[in-house]
Amino acid sequence: MSEKDKVETPRKSSKTKIVVAGLFLAILTIVLLLRAPIALIPLWIAAAIIIAIWLVYFRLAPANQFFTLVFEATGRFISRGGQVIKVIIQWVGYTQDDDGYIIPENTWCKDGRALTVIEVLDAKTGKLKIKKTEVKKRQEEVTREGSVVETKDIYYRESIEEVIEGAKKYKEPSHPLGGLRWIGWYPMNTIAFYDFAWTGVDQAGKVDPHPKESLGLFVLPDDNFYFPPRPLETRPPENLPVLIPMASTIRIANPRKAIFAAEKFLEITDQAIESVKRDFNAAHSYEELISERDIGDQILMMAEYRGITYELFTRYGIDLRKLRALDVVVAEAKDVKNDLQRATLRAFEATQTAKATLITATATSQRRAKETMGSIVQMMAETTGDDPKDIQAKIKKSPRLRSQLQKFIQELTVRQVSIAGKSFVDIRVEGAEGIEKSLLNFIAAYQRIPSKVGSEKEVDGEDKPGAEEDMGAEISEKPSGRRHTSRIKKGRQ
């Protein structure tokens, strides 16, 4: 929009020169026509037409004097003494209705909206049978573990049919000169300019801010605008302040209302749906928000159900067509001003830090457990002379051996997580306990396995009589109080 306005805001000092040059050329043309021979009159008329076209297109219209240029899919306001007296648009296939709403031509319309006609009952009175979409609401019970915990409002669209009267069709006026339009006698009639600042956003979510500019035109098709987020709390008792930046698709349905009656129609639209966004957030937890895929559509349906979009359209000429949530993020401390929200943020950050520590520690402990078991298998292979692959095969075949190994890995994981969470205390006593005992039990169980895989039959989940005592490692402790090396007694043969 700004690039188009650059050609229509010449310096004020050039306007006087344009008017003087135009009057001089007009007087000169009249004098030459009066004094020229009759044979040269057609030539002078042709020259006068060429000069007039050049003057209008390249001098008067760019300066918005007597004429103006309206680009495709845009419009302008004609003012007289500071009052907007007319709205002119250039958009092929569209025109204005009696109330100034932009509508498609040769289409049944009412109250600024195009209608989906099923049947024309009376063309003279505009009595039609139409189909339209309305937003409805139903309540669904949310159950957890077999019991109802809450009731949630579900919004959805439903097609209905109804009969209306007073619909009309409108035809686009003919414009043989395209976007060149007569605006009236200068300087009484001029093009009205207005100040406008906005922030655009593309489909990828990239924000493009535009500082305040003085514009002499408005855009008619749908355009995307960015609504800056404000911290809104999630469902109690979580009450976590989150930010949901949104992109809105808006069409100027009635230019006079949107730009002059509303003044700042983007702020009005943002404020109008703010209460809806607050209620939507209050009905969802943070986990639900980040997993929700159609946040924008849900908020828009809630706004339609409450009549907010209808008021924006009829009172301010704003057609809010779509809302799209760009992201869901937890607000930072600098974004909130409430002490309670800051406290909630601190608690949430502590919880997330603990979760991250647990995940990292678990992954690290599992990796170290694998490395430790690799070392143990290698050590046992060197001690017994067995091949490492045979040792692994014995472990896979024996349920009791797998159980001892799983217990050792679990205790190693718990120890690593505790160390990462700074909650591990190592107090050593006489004898082998905890993870050391699990490791010794595993080694003792392995020693009771025959040297050849498959030489002794074992049944998963079944124990032989006395097997539990034989396969388990017996840990002996000296009562002297000195630290000693645990020894493993052999089981009964």
Let me know if residue 70 belongs to a domain.
Answer: no
- H runs (alpha helix) in 388-466: 388-397, 399-420, 434-447
Of 112, 123, 105, 108, whose CA–CA distance to 171 is shortest?
105
> Looking at the structure, do residues 318 and 239 belong to the same domain, yes or no?
yes
Domain boundary among 63, 85, 101: 63
Let me know if residue 82 belongs to a domain.
Answer: no
> Looking at the structure, do residues 302 and 211 belong to the same domain, yes or no?
yes
> Looking at the structure, do residues 232 and 304 belong to the same domain, yes or no?
yes
Alpha carbon distance, N-terminus to C-terminus of the chain: 94
Let me know if residue 123 belongs to a domain.
Answer: no
Helix (H, G, I), strand (E, B) or coil at 177: coil
- Band (pLDDT 50/70/90 cuts) for residue 247 is very high
Let me know if residue 32 belongs to a domain.
Answer: yes
> Looking at the structure, do residues 325 and 377 belong to the same domain, yes or no?
no
Report pLDDT digits (tens) over 82-101.
Answer: 899 999 999 999 999 999 99
Domain boundary among 41, 63, 85: 63
Helix (H, G, I), strand (E, B) or coil at 134: strand
pTM of the model: 0.64
User: Which helix or strand (DSSP H or E) is residue 189 part of?
Assistant: strand 189-191
> Looking at the structure, do residues 208 and 317 belong to the same domain, yes or no?
yes
Lowest mean pLDDT among 195-199, 318-322, 402-406, 426-430: 426-430
- Greater confidence (54 vs 458) lies with 54
> Looking at the structure, do residues 412 and 314 belong to the same domain, yes or no?
no
> Looking at the structure, do residues 312 and 383 belong to the same domain, yes or no?
no
89: left (phi over 0), alpha (psi -120 to 50) or beta: beta
> Looking at the structure, do residues 242 and 292 belong to the same domain, yes or no?
yes
Domain at 292, CATH number: 3.30.479.30
> Looking at the structure, do residues 200 and 333 belong to the same domain, yes or no?
yes
Let me know if residue 249 belongs to a domain.
Answer: yes
- Structural tokens at position 145: 């573990």
Let me know if residue 113 belongs to a domain.
Answer: no
CB 249 within 8 A of CB 222: yes
> Looking at the structure, do residues 294 and 408 belong to the same domain, yes or no?
no
Domain boundary among 63, 87, 105: 63
By residue range, what is the domain housing residue 446? 360-471
Report pLDDT digits (tens) over 132-173.
Answer: 999 999 988 777 666 766 788 889 999 999 999 999 999 988
| Mean of pLDDT values over 238-250 | 88
Let me know if residue 153 belongs to a domain.
Answer: no
Let me know if residue 351 belongs to a domain.
Answer: no
State residue 257 phi and psi, 5-degree precision: -70, -45
Of 464, 462, 471, whose CA–CA distance to 492 is shortest?
471
> Looking at the structure, do residues 206 and 288 belong to the same domain, yes or no?
yes
CA 266 to chain centre: 18
As a whole number, the mean pLDDT across the chain is: 76
Does the pLDDT of residue 395 top 80, yes or no? no
> Looking at the structure, do residues 306 and 380 belong to the same domain, yes or no?
no
- Structural tokens at position 180: 């060149």
Report pLDDT digits (tens) over 377-391.
Answer: 777 777 677 777 777
Residue type, 28: L
- Greater confidence (36 vs 258) lies with 258
Indicate the number of domains in the chain.
Answer: 3
Helix 308-316, helix 295-305: angle, nearest 10: 70
